[in-house]
Amino acid sequence: MDNFSQTIISAADKVKTAVVKIERLATVKGKEVISGTGSGFLFSSDGYLFTNSHVVHDARELKVVLYDGTRYPAVLIGEDVSTDLAILKISGGDYIPVVLGDAESLQVGELVIAIGNPLGFQHTVTAGIISALGRTVQGYGGTMIDSMIQTDAALNPGNSGGPLVNAEGEVIGVNTAIINGAQGLCFAVSINTAKEVATELIRHGKVKRSYLGLVMQQVELVPKLRAMNELRNKQALFIVKVEQGSPADKAGILSGDILYSFNDRMVETSDQLFKMLTHEKIGQFQYVGVLRNNHRQEFRLTPTEKG
Protein backbone atom coordinates (compact mmCIF):
# COMPACT_ATOMS: atom_id res chain seq x y z
CA MET A 1 0.00 0.00 0.00
CA ASP A 2 1.28 3.51 -0.84
CA ASN A 3 2.36 5.94 1.89
CA PHE A 4 -0.39 8.46 1.10
CA SER A 5 -3.13 5.88 1.69
CA GLN A 6 -1.43 4.60 4.82
CA THR A 7 -1.30 8.13 6.25
CA ILE A 8 -5.03 8.67 5.71
CA ILE A 9 -5.95 5.24 7.09
CA SER A 10 -3.80 5.76 10.20
CA ALA A 11 -5.14 9.27 10.89
CA ALA A 12 -8.77 8.22 10.42
CA ASP A 13 -8.28 5.17 12.62
CA LYS A 14 -7.10 7.35 15.54
CA VAL A 15 -10.33 9.36 15.68
CA LYS A 16 -13.07 7.17 14.20
CA THR A 17 -14.45 5.83 17.48
CA ALA A 18 -14.80 9.39 18.84
CA VAL A 19 -16.84 10.61 15.84
CA VAL A 20 -20.59 10.51 16.45
CA LYS A 21 -23.83 11.05 14.60
CA ILE A 22 -26.21 13.61 16.09
CA GLU A 23 -29.95 13.22 15.62
CA ARG A 24 -32.55 15.96 16.10
CA LEU A 25 -35.82 14.45 17.28
CA ALA A 26 -39.30 15.81 16.75
CA THR A 27 -42.84 14.55 17.36
CA VAL A 28 -45.02 14.25 14.27
CA LYS A 29 -48.60 13.00 14.67
CA GLY A 30 -47.70 11.54 18.04
CA LYS A 31 -44.64 9.69 16.78
CA GLU A 32 -40.99 10.46 17.44
CA VAL A 33 -39.13 11.06 14.18
CA ILE A 34 -35.63 12.20 13.21
CA SER A 35 -35.95 15.72 11.82
CA GLY A 36 -32.28 16.27 11.03
CA THR A 37 -28.79 14.88 11.51
CA GLY A 38 -25.25 16.15 11.88
CA SER A 39 -21.86 15.11 13.18
CA GLY A 40 -19.80 15.64 16.29
CA PHE A 41 -16.78 14.29 18.15
CA LEU A 42 -15.90 13.50 21.75
CA PHE A 43 -13.08 15.60 23.19
CA SER A 44 -13.21 14.34 26.79
CA SER A 45 -13.43 10.90 28.34
CA ASP A 46 -16.49 11.92 30.38
CA GLY A 47 -18.74 12.62 27.40
CA TYR A 48 -18.28 16.23 26.27
CA LEU A 49 -18.41 16.69 22.51
CA PHE A 50 -18.17 19.37 19.85
CA THR A 51 -20.71 19.98 17.11
CA ASN A 52 -22.14 22.96 15.22
CA SER A 53 -24.67 25.37 16.64
CA HIS A 54 -26.82 25.10 13.50
CA VAL A 55 -27.04 21.32 14.00
CA VAL A 56 -28.62 21.59 17.46
CA HIS A 57 -30.18 25.06 17.59
CA ASP A 58 -33.78 25.00 18.90
CA ALA A 59 -33.85 21.19 18.89
CA ARG A 60 -36.57 19.70 21.11
CA GLU A 61 -34.51 16.59 21.84
CA LEU A 62 -31.08 15.33 20.80
CA LYS A 63 -29.62 11.84 20.56
CA VAL A 64 -26.00 10.88 19.94
CA VAL A 65 -25.15 7.68 18.07
CA LEU A 66 -21.69 6.28 18.87
CA TYR A 67 -19.41 4.31 16.55
CA ASP A 68 -20.79 1.00 17.82
CA GLY A 69 -24.40 2.09 17.24
CA THR A 70 -25.21 2.85 20.88
CA ARG A 71 -27.61 5.81 21.24
CA TYR A 72 -27.51 8.24 24.16
CA PRO A 73 -29.68 11.26 25.04
CA ALA A 74 -27.61 14.44 24.82
CA VAL A 75 -27.75 17.63 26.89
CA LEU A 76 -26.92 20.96 25.26
CA ILE A 77 -24.32 22.62 27.50
CA GLY A 78 -24.18 25.78 25.41
CA GLU A 79 -23.88 27.17 21.92
CA ASP A 80 -22.20 30.15 20.29
CA VAL A 81 -23.94 31.25 17.10
CA SER A 82 -21.14 33.66 16.17
CA THR A 83 -18.68 30.75 15.73
CA ASP A 84 -21.34 28.13 14.90
CA LEU A 85 -20.08 25.93 17.73
CA ALA A 86 -21.97 23.98 20.39
CA ILE A 87 -21.04 21.66 23.25
CA LEU A 88 -23.12 18.58 24.10
CA LYS A 89 -22.78 16.15 27.01
CA ILE A 90 -23.73 12.49 27.10
CA SER A 91 -23.82 10.31 30.21
CA GLY A 92 -21.32 7.64 31.07
CA GLY A 93 -17.56 7.75 30.95
CA ASP A 94 -14.42 6.01 29.80
CA TYR A 95 -14.84 7.29 26.27
CA ILE A 96 -11.77 7.54 24.06
CA PRO A 97 -11.63 11.19 22.96
CA VAL A 98 -9.80 12.75 20.05
CA VAL A 99 -6.47 14.49 20.48
CA LEU A 100 -6.85 18.24 19.90
CA GLY A 101 -4.04 19.71 17.82
CA ASP A 102 -2.69 23.24 17.38
CA ALA A 103 -3.91 25.29 14.43
CA GLU A 104 -1.11 27.84 14.83
CA SER A 105 1.35 25.55 13.03
CA LEU A 106 -0.86 24.77 10.01
CA GLN A 107 0.37 25.50 6.50
CA VAL A 108 -1.40 25.96 3.19
CA GLY A 109 -1.06 22.74 1.18
CA GLU A 110 -1.03 20.48 4.26
CA LEU A 111 -2.97 17.20 4.07
CA VAL A 112 -6.26 17.12 6.01
CA ILE A 113 -8.96 14.50 6.51
CA ALA A 114 -12.65 15.11 7.23
CA ILE A 115 -14.83 12.53 8.98
CA GLY A 116 -18.57 12.74 9.47
CA ASN A 117 -22.01 11.57 8.49
CA PRO A 118 -22.89 13.27 5.18
CA LEU A 119 -26.49 12.65 4.12
CA GLY A 120 -26.74 9.98 6.82
CA PHE A 121 -23.80 7.87 5.56
CA GLN A 122 -22.03 7.31 8.87
CA HIS A 123 -18.27 7.64 9.29
CA THR A 124 -17.52 8.84 5.78
CA VAL A 125 -13.86 9.79 5.27
CA THR A 126 -12.72 12.39 2.73
CA ALA A 127 -9.27 13.91 2.22
CA GLY A 128 -7.83 17.08 0.74
CA ILE A 129 -5.47 19.93 1.52
CA ILE A 130 -5.61 23.22 3.39
CA SER A 131 -6.42 25.82 0.74
CA ALA A 132 -6.19 28.95 2.92
CA LEU A 133 -5.99 30.01 6.57
CA GLY A 134 -7.59 32.71 8.69
CA ARG A 135 -10.62 33.20 6.46
CA THR A 136 -13.70 35.13 7.57
CA VAL A 137 -16.76 33.39 6.13
CA GLN A 138 -20.50 33.99 6.32
CA GLY A 139 -22.08 31.17 8.29
CA TYR A 140 -25.65 30.05 8.81
CA GLY A 141 -28.00 32.92 9.59
CA GLY A 142 -25.63 35.46 8.02
CA THR A 143 -23.16 35.61 10.91
CA MET A 144 -19.54 36.27 9.90
CA ILE A 145 -17.25 33.61 11.40
CA ASP A 146 -13.53 34.32 11.89
CA SER A 147 -10.54 31.97 12.08
CA MET A 148 -11.81 29.60 9.40
CA ILE A 149 -9.68 26.98 7.70
CA GLN A 150 -10.48 26.60 4.00
CA THR A 151 -10.08 23.08 2.60
CA ASP A 152 -11.02 21.09 -0.46
CA ALA A 153 -11.77 17.93 1.55
CA ALA A 154 -15.32 17.19 0.39
CA LEU A 155 -18.10 18.12 2.82
CA ASN A 156 -21.82 17.58 2.39
CA PRO A 157 -24.92 18.23 4.52
CA GLY A 158 -24.50 16.05 7.60
CA ASN A 159 -20.72 16.60 7.85
CA SER A 160 -21.40 19.69 9.97
CA GLY A 161 -19.77 19.40 13.39
CA GLY A 162 -17.37 16.60 12.48
CA PRO A 163 -13.59 16.81 12.91
CA LEU A 164 -11.01 18.04 10.43
CA VAL A 165 -7.88 16.01 11.14
CA ASN A 166 -4.20 16.38 10.22
CA ALA A 167 -1.86 13.61 9.08
CA GLU A 168 -1.02 12.73 12.71
CA GLY A 169 -4.68 12.14 13.57
CA GLU A 170 -4.99 15.35 15.62
CA VAL A 171 -8.15 17.43 15.27
CA ILE A 172 -7.29 20.87 13.90
CA GLY A 173 -10.78 22.11 13.03
CA VAL A 174 -14.55 21.65 13.36
CA ASN A 175 -16.16 21.20 9.94
CA THR A 176 -18.79 23.86 9.53
CA ALA A 177 -19.71 25.20 6.12
CA ILE A 178 -19.88 24.60 2.42
CA ILE A 179 -20.69 27.19 -0.23
CA ASN A 180 -23.72 26.12 -2.22
CA GLY A 181 -23.01 25.80 -5.92
CA ALA A 182 -19.23 25.73 -5.45
CA GLN A 183 -16.89 22.75 -5.56
CA GLY A 184 -13.87 22.34 -3.33
CA LEU A 185 -14.76 25.29 -1.09
CA CYS A 186 -15.28 23.92 2.41
CA PHE A 187 -14.58 25.47 5.78
CA ALA A 188 -13.80 24.48 9.36
CA VAL A 189 -13.53 26.56 12.53
CA SER A 190 -9.96 26.49 13.84
CA ILE A 191 -9.58 24.14 16.81
CA ASN A 192 -7.75 26.90 18.72
CA THR A 193 -10.83 29.08 18.49
CA ALA A 194 -13.00 26.07 19.36
CA LYS A 195 -10.97 25.44 22.54
CA GLU A 196 -11.53 29.03 23.70
CA VAL A 197 -15.25 28.79 22.97
CA ALA A 198 -15.55 25.42 24.74
CA THR A 199 -13.99 26.82 27.91
CA GLU A 200 -16.53 29.65 28.02
CA LEU A 201 -19.50 27.44 27.19
CA ILE A 202 -18.66 24.84 29.82
CA ARG A 203 -18.04 27.50 32.49
CA HIS A 204 -20.80 29.98 31.68
CA GLY A 205 -23.08 28.43 29.04
CA LYS A 206 -22.43 31.33 26.68
CA VAL A 207 -19.62 33.31 25.06
CA LYS A 208 -19.23 37.08 25.25
CA ARG A 209 -16.62 38.79 23.09
CA SER A 210 -15.76 42.10 21.46
CA TYR A 211 -16.34 42.92 17.80
CA LEU A 212 -14.30 44.94 15.30
CA GLY A 213 -16.20 44.34 12.05
CA LEU A 214 -13.41 42.98 9.84
CA VAL A 215 -13.41 40.28 7.18
CA MET A 216 -9.85 38.94 7.02
CA GLN A 217 -7.48 36.46 5.46
CA GLN A 218 -4.13 35.31 6.84
CA VAL A 219 -1.20 36.24 4.55
CA GLU A 220 2.60 36.02 4.47
CA LEU A 221 4.56 39.27 4.72
CA VAL A 222 7.40 39.59 2.23
CA PRO A 223 10.86 40.25 3.78
CA LYS A 224 11.21 43.67 2.13
CA LEU A 225 7.94 44.92 3.65
CA ARG A 226 8.91 43.58 7.07
CA ALA A 227 12.33 45.25 6.87
CA MET A 228 10.91 48.61 5.71
CA ASN A 229 8.58 48.74 8.71
CA GLU A 230 10.81 46.96 11.26
CA LEU A 231 8.22 44.27 11.87
CA ARG A 232 8.82 40.95 13.60
CA ASN A 233 5.69 39.48 11.98
CA LYS A 234 6.16 36.81 9.35
CA GLN A 235 2.39 36.78 8.80
CA ALA A 236 -0.48 39.23 9.28
CA LEU A 237 -4.19 39.60 8.49
CA PHE A 238 -5.20 41.11 5.15
CA ILE A 239 -8.46 43.02 5.53
CA VAL A 240 -10.77 41.90 2.73
CA LYS A 241 -13.76 43.93 3.87
CA VAL A 242 -14.79 46.37 6.61
CA GLU A 243 -18.38 46.02 7.77
CA GLN A 244 -20.30 49.27 7.30
CA GLY A 245 -20.96 51.10 10.58
CA SER A 246 -18.66 48.76 12.54
CA PRO A 247 -16.03 49.95 15.05
CA ALA A 248 -13.30 49.45 12.43
CA ASP A 249 -15.25 51.45 9.86
CA LYS A 250 -15.80 54.33 12.28
CA ALA A 251 -12.09 54.32 13.14
CA GLY A 252 -11.08 54.73 9.47
CA ILE A 253 -9.69 51.27 8.76
CA LEU A 254 -10.07 50.35 5.07
CA SER A 255 -10.30 47.26 2.93
CA GLY A 256 -6.79 46.45 1.70
CA ASP A 257 -5.12 47.39 5.00
CA ILE A 258 -3.03 44.68 6.65
CA LEU A 259 -3.55 44.24 10.40
CA TYR A 260 -0.28 43.37 12.16
CA SER A 261 -0.84 44.37 15.82
CA PHE A 262 -3.48 44.87 18.48
CA ASN A 263 -2.62 47.03 21.49
CA ASP A 264 1.08 46.80 20.55
CA ARG A 265 0.94 42.99 20.57
CA MET A 266 1.98 41.22 17.38
CA VAL A 267 -0.84 39.55 15.43
CA GLU A 268 0.07 36.88 12.90
CA THR A 269 -3.06 34.69 12.89
CA SER A 270 -6.79 35.18 13.33
CA ASP A 271 -6.65 32.81 16.32
CA GLN A 272 -4.28 35.21 18.08
CA LEU A 273 -6.62 38.14 17.44
CA PHE A 274 -9.63 36.08 18.58
CA LYS A 275 -7.95 35.44 21.95
CA MET A 276 -7.39 39.17 22.40
CA LEU A 277 -10.99 40.16 21.67
CA THR A 278 -12.28 39.29 25.13
CA HIS A 279 -15.40 40.80 26.69
CA GLU A 280 -13.25 43.16 28.79
CA LYS A 281 -12.40 45.08 25.60
CA ILE A 282 -16.06 45.99 24.91
CA GLY A 283 -16.57 49.76 25.12
CA GLN A 284 -12.88 50.44 25.84
CA PHE A 285 -10.41 52.20 23.51
CA GLN A 286 -8.10 49.76 21.70
CA TYR A 287 -5.25 50.38 19.27
CA VAL A 288 -4.90 48.55 15.96
CA GLY A 289 -1.71 48.65 13.88
CA VAL A 290 -2.08 48.30 10.11
CA LEU A 291 0.04 48.56 7.00
CA ARG A 292 -1.41 50.91 4.40
CA ASN A 293 0.46 51.68 1.17
CA ASN A 294 3.46 49.82 2.65
CA HIS A 295 3.63 52.07 5.72
CA ARG A 296 2.64 51.59 9.34
CA GLN A 297 -0.38 53.38 10.75
CA GLU A 298 -2.20 53.12 14.07
CA PHE A 299 -5.94 53.52 14.61
CA ARG A 300 -7.91 53.87 17.83
CA LEU A 301 -11.29 52.13 17.96
CA THR A 302 -13.90 51.05 20.47
CA PRO A 303 -15.09 47.44 20.10
CA THR A 304 -18.75 46.63 20.59
CA GLU A 305 -20.24 43.34 21.77
CA LYS A 306 -20.51 40.69 19.09
CA GLY A 307 -24.07 39.49 18.82
pLDDT tens per residue across span 21-47: 999 988 888 888 888 899 999 999 999
CB atoms within 10 A of CB 204: 10
Q: Which residue has the higher pLDDT, 277 or 138?
A: 277
Q: Which CATH number covers residue 61?
A: 2.40.10.10
Domain boundary pick from 203, 238, 273: 203
CA distances from residue 243 to 27, 134, 168, 214, 254 in whole angstroms, order as listed: 41, 17, 38, 6, 10
Inside any domain, residue 67: yes
Q: Answer yes or no: do 128 and 45 share one domain.
A: no
Mean pLDDT of 97-123: 91
Q: How confident is the model at residue 254 (pLDDT cuts 50, 70, 90)?
A: very high
List pLDDT tens digits, range 43-81: 999 999 999 999 999 999 999 999 999 999 999 999 998
- Tell me the average pLDDT of the chain: 92
Domain identity same for 181 and 144:
yes
Same domain, 268 and 222: yes
The answer to whether residue 262 sits within a structural domain is yes
The residue from 168, 203, 238 where one domain ends is 203
Report if residue 95 sits inside a domain.
Answer: no
**∠ Cα 33 39 41 (to 5°):** 130
Cα separation, 252 vs 100, in Å, equals 38
Structural domain total, the chain: 3
Q: Domain boundary residue among 32, 55, 90? A: 90
Catalytic residues: 54, 84, 160
Domain that holds residue 245: 210-305
Domain shared by 67 and 115, yes or no: no
- Does 248 lie in the same domain as 218? yes
> Count H helices, E strands: the chain?
6, 21
Compute the distance between CA of residue 86 and CA of residue 95 in angstroms, rounded to an integer.
19
CA dist., res. 201 & res. 223, Å (int): 40
pTM of the model: 0.86
Residue 220 clears pLDDT 80, i.e. is over it: yes
